[in-house]
């Protein structure tokens, strides 16, 4: 039916099929390599079991209601918003000036 020489001369078969195989096969190959990378990162990220237990205990111990109780105890009436020094200002001098102003007001 088909002549083998005619297929070899066809540009689609000669160039298109290998290109398609490279693109599709390359995506599957890259998938395997990237999976190895992510598996290695996951292994490196694992914590020591004793340290992981401490971290999990700290996460469990913080409860929203406890944080709310802490915030209720703070006195927000005496709170004052103080800006930090600008890049061109001397930070030590500015901090001292702010401290003097705060103590002078009290």
Q: Per-residue DSSP letters for the chain?
A: ---HHHHHH-HIIIIIHHHHHHHHHHHHHHHHHHHHHHHHHHHHHPPPHHHHHHHHHHHHH--HHHHHHHHHHS--TT----PPPPTTS-HHHHHHHHHHHHHHH-
pLDDT of 30-83, one tens digit each? 998 889 888 888 877 776 777 777 777 666 666 777 888 888 888 888 777 777
Q: pTM of the full predicted structure? A: 0.34
Residue ranges of the domains in the chain?
4-79
Higher pLDDT, 47 or 28: 28
């Amino acid at each position: 039916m088909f002549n083998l020489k005619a297929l070899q001369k066809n540009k689609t078969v000669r160039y298109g099929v290998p290109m398609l195989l490279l693109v599709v096969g390359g995506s599957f190959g890259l998938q395997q390599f990237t999976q190895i990378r992510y598996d290695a990162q996951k292994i490196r990220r694992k914590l020591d079991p004793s340290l992981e237990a401490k971290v999990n205990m700290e996460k469990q111990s913080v409860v929203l209601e406890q944080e709310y109780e802490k915030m209720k105890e703070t006195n927000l009436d005496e709170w004052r918003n103080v800006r930090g020094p600008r890049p061109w200002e001397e930070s030590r001098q500015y901090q001292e000036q702010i401290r003097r102003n705060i103590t002078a007001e009290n």
